[in-house]
Each structure stands twice: as C-alpha cells, then as structure tokens.
Amino acid sequence: MSVLSRKEIKDRLEKPLTDFKSIVITPLLGDTFDHDSIDLRLGCYFRVPAVSTIECVKPYQGTVEHYPELVHKPYSRGIKEGVKKGAKEREGDNAESTIILQPHHAVLASTLEYIKMPGDVSGQILTKSSWARIFISIASAPWIHPFYRGCLTLEVSNLGNVPVALPVGKPMAQLVFIKLEGQIKLEKDVIEGSYAGAVMPEAPKFKA
Amino acid sequence: MPDLDDQVRNAGVRILRLCKDLSEFILSGQARKTYLYETEIFLKHIKKSLKAIDKFIRRSINKKMAPPLAKAKLKELDLIREVLSWLYTFVKEAIDADTLSIPYSLTIFLNHTATELQKPDKVSLVVLGSSDLMYYKYNLTRLRDLTKKLKKDVIQNYPVLPENIGILKFPYSSAQEALVNCILFHEMGHYIYEKTGLQRDFYNSINDNLRAFIQDNKIIEKLKPKDPDLACNKLFIYVGGLMLSWGDEMFADIFAIRVLGSAFHSACLEMEQILSTDIKRNKTFSRTHPADDFRFKVHAKWLSDGGWDEIIKKRTPLIFDRLKDCETLRFKNKDFSISCEPPLGESDESKDLKEKLHTWMFKEFGQMVIRIEEELSTKLEDFENPINDFKKNDSLVTACLEHGIVPSTVYNEKKERCHPRPTTILNSGFFFYLGGMVELLKKVEVKRGVSRIDKRMNYEKRLNQWLAKAIEDWQILLEEGKL
C-alpha cells in the first residue's frame, strides 16, 4: 500500500477520463495540494437532524426521504457578496455563509469538490488538524472505493462544548489517495452504488 | 348602516389585520430558509410596503373625521386594498421560492447575463414557482403604477416597486431541472423586451397601418356597424392585442436562441411534449403565441446564423429535419392560420374581410419580426456567440457526462485546465440528454430489481444535478477570480 504524492495526483488529474487511472477534482479553487493529500472544502448543502414530526426512523422499512432535513447555504452569500451587494441590508446576518453546529450535535455535509476516484486507488478522508483542535470531527465512513464519483458526504460532529460556525467553501477535510497493491482488475469504469454521482448529502437509502 | 367615520375605521382595521397576517406569514415562512439575493430584495419590498401601510392606517383611523374627509379616506383605502391584493398574490410564491425550491444556479446565471446586457443597470430577476405547468414573465406594470400612485397621492413614504425587478415563473415541480428550465432564457427575453420600448413603437405603427387597412378595404362602408367608432375600437383591440403578444414572444425567442443557443430550442420541444401532442396546434397562431412551427422557422434561421446548423444535424438529426421543414413554411402559401375570430360580424361580406384581415396581419407581423431581428442584432452585437465556447469545450463536457462527472473543470488535449461557460454546459448537456445517455447508462450497474426505466429516470435526474452543479461551480470560480 502506498500513498499518492502531490505530483502523482496532479499528473492523474490531467489524464483523459478514458484512462482508468484518471482522477477528477472539480472545482479546483487554487493550490489545495499538500505533499500527500488534497484539501477539500465544505460544500453548500447540509442535512440537519432537525426536530421533526417523524415518529421514528425505521431503516429497511421504506426510505425516509426527508430525514435529515436538507438545508442550503449558498456559496455566493459568502464574504464577497455580503460586502458587495448589501452589507447594510444584511445587518445582523453573518457576513460569511455558515451553518452553526451546536455542542454534541452532528450534521451531514458534503465536499464542495466533486471527485472521481481512479480504478487502482482507494481514498481516505480525514479532518484537517486545525478543525480537530476545536473538537470538530469529520466522517464516520471515511473510506472511498475505487471508481467512486460524487461529492463526498461528511458527517461533521461537534464534540466540544461550544457552538462552532462551519464556513461554506473553507477547507475542512483532507483526502489521501492510497494505491491498491497486487494485480488490479478494475480497469473498466463502473458507476455503482446508491449514492454514486451525488452532488449533495442524500437521505439514507436502506435496502433490505 | 354605520356612519362614514365608522366605515373608515372598520375598513382600516380589516386592512391592518391583513397586513399583520401577511407579515406573520412571511416571518414564519422565512424561518430556516435561504433565499436568493434578488428574492430577498423582493420580500424586503413587500415587508416595507406592509409596514408603510400599517403606519399610515393607524394614523388615519385614530381620529374623528368629517364626512368629506372620511369619503376621501375611503377612496385612499380602496387604493391601498388594490395594492395589497397584488402583493397578496406574490407573498406565498415568494416565501416558497427558497434556494432549494428554484433552479438556483440557473437563476444566478440569468441574473448575471441580464446584468451584463443591461449595464450599467443592475437587474433583479426573481424566479418563483408557478402552479401552472407553464413558464412566463409576470407583468408588473400595473403594480408598479399603483405603487407610484399610492406614494404620490396617499402614503408619502410608500416604497415604489423598483424598476429593475422582474418576476419570472416556472412550473414549481421543475425546480431541480437544468435542461427544461432553459426556457427561462425566453422569459428573461420578455424582461429585456419591456425595457427596449419596442412595444410602444409597434403599438403606434399597428394603429396607423390598421387605420389605412380599414380605409383601403372600406370595412365600415361594407359592414355598416351601428356604432362605427366602437367597431373600429374593437378591431384595434383585437389586432393590437394579438400582434403585440406575438411580437413579444418572437423577441423573447430570438433573444434566447442568440444568448443561449440550441439548448433553448431543445427545451421548447421538451415543453411541447409535456403540454400537447396536438400537431394541428403547430401551425395555428393563438391569442397569445405564434404557431410553434412559425417560431421554429425563426429558430432555424437564427440557429443557422449562429453556426449551430451542422452540429444539430450531426447530433440530433430528427430535430434538424423538423427545423428544415419549418423553414419552408410561408404565410403567402397559407401555411399558417389564426385560431381567433376577428370582431367583424357574421355576414357573407365579413367572411371575406376576415380572411383579408388575417392575411394583412401576417404580412404586418412579418415586418415586425424583421424589425425585432434588427433590434436584437444591434443590441447583442457585442454579446459573445455561445457557439465559440461550445466548440472549444463540447467534447470535453460530453466526455465528463459519459463518465458521470460534473463538467466544471476539464482538461484539453494540451493538458490545459478549462472551465466551460454555463451556456456550453447547457447546450452540451442537452445534446447529451437527447443522444448520449446510452453511453452513460452502459457504465451504470444497478442492483437487481431496479428496472431499466427507473435506471434511466435516476440518471436523467443525476444529469440535471451535474449540470446545475457545474453552473454553480462556474459562478464560484467567477467569484473567486479563477476564470
């Protein structure tokens, strides 16, 4: 098992999509590459476990389409637009587009970047260390399979004792690419799985 | 019967309650929702209006009034009521139009494009879900005039509806669609048309030419109506109403083709399939719209001028064939008809006149279309033809879609990073939807029990999501100065 370096990640980004080794990361907003990983930003869509009228979530007994509840925090409401378009009108608003995460609460988020994994590489998603230092933790299902594509779903938890504002569009996670060892048979591009191609965190789809 | 003073008080209190209910409805509806900046401006306008009305009425009904003053006050309350009834129609739709309930990224791009075109004015296009299975631009002229009158005559600090606000409506169930919502470019065209002042010119020339037509054909002498002035007026209303509506539609169509490209034509066909399978409709002009085939005849010309011909022929041959068929249609060959009856009576004489009138209307309308084309050619002279970016990036976008990838960052053969424009994303996306889905579906493996129809529907939905995300990404890249 080996970890892809920055150079290898960049080389693979430029490969044609027909090459099973190609990687896709879009949009790329500046130099987000580390030596052995890439930073991923917080996307604009969230699923919030809001107080609900749902009596009880019963997995495998029909999909609960509206739990957790979908929330959108547009990127364009970020600092620039807030200042440019009407700082006055937005008094009391946060200048940034954020979602507040209360202590010991969790929210489903997704990366702003849409990813396509190569056929010979798995991925692991990690919390960026600065966020970990204020007790924000990302992901309880951090493993990404070869050929997966979509915006990555992040389960963001606040393990601390104070509310934390999560800013849309800011780096929160790192993706590490891990090359598979042995003979690779995944040369034919395959799209599979209920959440393949998702652009936002989706409600769970339990299948018996 | 209460005296006038009581009447004022009762009416005022009723209006106050309505204002309060509406304000509370807005507040409760807005909780936890996020709105587009333009929708927020509109909601803010409604809230300010309600506040101004509330303040005015509280002041007015608090004091005893002499009958003449009370009478005048009742008239003022009537005007307020009229404005409120207009606002009422928008409150629910505006509250419902949070960013999850409208085609969000497309709406931002529409506003971006409209502002580019109307520089230095800032345009605020508010997109609302409509309960009709139709797209349209809402006409705000009456409301705007009423708010001006209210400010001038009654409430001095009443907020006049801003001139730059336009309201477009789409079928509420299509919020997550990127492709069929390309029709919104046509609706934006109506907004631009309103600002050109072209309609006023057409109104005047239609009136002048119709007057000459009535004289040349001795219509009054032949039909001998009891009231010649009334008969003429009815005819002016009929002819003017139809032709101005048709002109408005043609402007919006040509605008959308020129600004967006072939995706708009494809969206029209998609919408045609949803609305009707009656092919007779295709050659008949209605009270509000030119016949579909006439519109497509003009689409064909502008698509050809824009350089789309060969691409459409190669990618969607059936659509190309229909466009070419429509191009051969002519007014003079009586290929088109009008579904409405002119107000010329039922006599034998009138039958012949009706036909003459409709023939004349088509001739005049042909001239109108030429004038519209000239106006748009001038207005959009500096606006880049969407085909330029399409030719550069189409194959890269298509490759992305075939692999189930959001086409916002693509690499060309020289390994250069490119970001296709939203127009390219929509045009390539539409061609892909119409002829390329098979390539994508071949790569999709689904669990046992999922039918082919469900698989196709799921991935059509995905396609729309990817295109919407790519447009949203383009906005982000633009905002971050990365384009």
pLDDT tens digits for A194-207?
A: 899 999 998 888 76
Q: How many alpha carbons fall within 13 Å on the CB side of residue B398?
A: 19
Structural domain span for residue A138: 2-50+69-75+95-178
Measured between CB atoms, does A112 come within 8 Å of chain B? yes
State how far residue A161 is from chain B, nearest Cα, in angstroms.
Answer: 23
DSSP assigned state of A75: G
Q: Does residue A137 fall inside a structural domain?
A: yes
CATH number at A139 reads: 2.70.40.10
The answer to whether residue A136 is domain-embedded is yes
- Name every chain B residue with its beta carbon within 8 A of the beta carbon of A200: 465
Interface test with B, best of A46, A70, A72 (most B CBs within 10 A): A72
Q: Token pair of B239, please? A: 């002819």
Residue B9 in domain: yes
Please indicate, yes or no, if residue A208 is contained in any of the structural domains: no
Question: Which is higher by pLDDT, B258 or B62?
Answer: B258
Whether B354 and B212 share a structural domain: yes
In a domain? residue B182 = no
Q: Is residue B188 part of a domain?
A: no
Are B347 and B474 contained in the same domain? no
**Direct distance between the N- and C-terminal alpha carbons of chain B, in angstroms, rounded to an integer:** 70
Per-residue confidence (pLDDT) for residue B68, from 0 to 100 = 87
Q: Are residues B215 and B103 in the same domain?
A: no
Whether B235 and B143 map to the same domain: the answer is: no
**Contact residues on chain B for A192, CB-CB shorter than 8 A:** 444-446
CA atoms within 13 A on the CB side of A205: 8
**If you write DSSP's letter for every residue of B83-131 in order, what string do you get?**
HHHHHHHHHHHHHH--TTSS-HHHHHHHHHHHHHHTTTSPPEEEEEEES
Are A154 and A63 in contact by the 8 Å Cβ rule? The answer is: no
CB B86 within 8 A of CB B146: yes
CA distance B259 to B424: 11
- Claim to verify: residue B132 and residue B13 sit in the same structural domain: yes
**Measured between alpha carbons, how far is B234 from B220 in angstroms, rounded to an integer?**
12
Domain assignment of residue A90, yes or no: no
User: Does the structure show a pLDDT above 80 at B313?
Assistant: yes
Q: Which of B33, B34, B123, B406 to mutate to test the interface with A (most CBs of A within 10 A)?
A: B406
Exposure pattern of A3-40 as b/e (b: 16+ CB <10 Å)? Answer: ebeeebbeebbebebeebbbbbbbbbbeebbeeebbbb
From chain A residues 117-146, the ones with a CB under 8 A of any chain B CB are none
Asked if A7 has any chain B CB less than 8 Å from its own CB, the reply is: no
Q: For chain B, what is the mean pLDDT? A: 93
Q: Which is more confident, B110 or B64?
A: B110
B406-460 residue pLDDT tens:
999 999 989 899 999 999 999 999 999 999 999 999 999 888 788 889 999 999 9
Q: Is the pLDDT of residue A150 over 60?
A: yes
Total beta-carbon pairs less than 8 A apart between chain A and chain B = 112
Of the candidates B461, B457, B427, the one whose C-alpha atom is nearest the C-alpha of residue B267 is: B427
Co-location of B374 and B233 in the same domain: yes
Q: What confidence category does residue B1 fall into, taking pLDDT thresholds of 50, 70 and 90?
A: low
pLDDT at B348: 78
Give me the mean pLDDT over the A21-48 stretch.
Answer: 92
Q: Does A116 touch chain B (CB under 8 A)?
A: yes
Domain-located, residue A44: yes
Where does B234-363 show beta strands of DSSP type E?
A: 284-285, 337-338
A203 touches chain B (CB under 8 A): no
Q: How far apart are CA A128 and CA A172, in angstroms?
A: 5
Cα–Cα distances in angstroms (integers) from residue A24 to residues A154, B154, B341, in the given order: 18, 61, 60
| Contact: A192, B465; criterion CB under 8 Å | no
Please name the member of B32, B408, B459 whose beta carbon is closest to the beta carbon of A27: B408
CB–CB contact B419 A27 (8 Å): yes
Question: Domains in chain A: how many in total?
Answer: 1
User: Is B186 part of a structural domain of the chain?
Assistant: no
Domain closes at, from B331, B348, B379: B379
Same domain flag for B398 and B324: no
B108 belongs to a structural domain = yes
Tell me if A138 is assigned to some domain.
yes
DSSP label of A188: S
**All residues at 6 or more sequence positions from A130 whose CB lies less than 8 Å from its CB, including other chains:** none
Residue B181 lies in a domain: no
pLDDT at position A55 over 80: no
Confidence of residue A77 (pLDDT cuts 50, 70, 90): very low
Contact A169 B482 (CB under 8 A): no
Residue A208 clears pLDDT 80, i.e. is over it: no
Q: Are residues B288 and B361 in the same domain?
A: yes
DSSP H helix total and E strand total for chain A: 3, 13
**B370 and B451, same domain (yes or no):** no
Chain B residues whose CB is inside 8 A of the A63 CB are none
Confirm if A47 and A70 have CB atoms less than 8 A apart.
Answer: yes
Q: Does A79 touch chain B (CB under 8 A)?
A: no
**Residues of chain A contacting residue B472, judged by C-beta atoms under 8 Å apart:** 44, 75
Chain B closest-CA separation from residue A25 CA (Å): 8
Q: Are residue B139 and residue B241 in the same domain, yes or no? A: no
Q: Are residues B245 and B107 in the same domain?
A: no
pLDDT of residue A144: 93
Domain identity same for B47 and B90: yes
Written as six digits, the tokens of B270 are 């998609």
Within a domain: residue A185? no
Q: Which member of A16, A27, A200 has the closest CB to residue B476?
A: A27
Contact A207 B447 (CB under 8 A): yes
CB–CB contact B37 A192 (8 Å) = no
A88: contact with B, CB 8 A cutoff: no
pLDDT exceeds cutoff 50 at A148: yes
Query: Who among A27, A73, A86 is closest to B409 (CB)?
Result: A27
Tally of structural domains, chain B: 3
Is the distance from CB of B404 to CB of B458 less than 8 angstroms? no
Block residue for tokens 């996306």 = B429
Per the structure, the complete domain to which residue B464 belongs is given by: 386-479
Whether A89 shows a pLDDT value over 50: the answer reads no
Say if A139 falls within a structural domain.
Answer: yes
- How far CA B180 is from CA of A203, B433, B460, in Å, comes to 25, 11, 12
Say if A149 is an interface residue toward chain B (CB within 8 Å): yes
Q: Is residue B253 part of a domain?
A: yes
Percent over 90 (pLDDT), chain B: 78
What is the per-residue pLDDT for A92?
39
The answer to which of A29-43, A44-58, A142-156, B258-272 has the lowest mean pLDDT is A44-58
**pLDDT recorded at residue A53:** 64
Gap from B424 CA to chain A (nearest CA, Å): 16
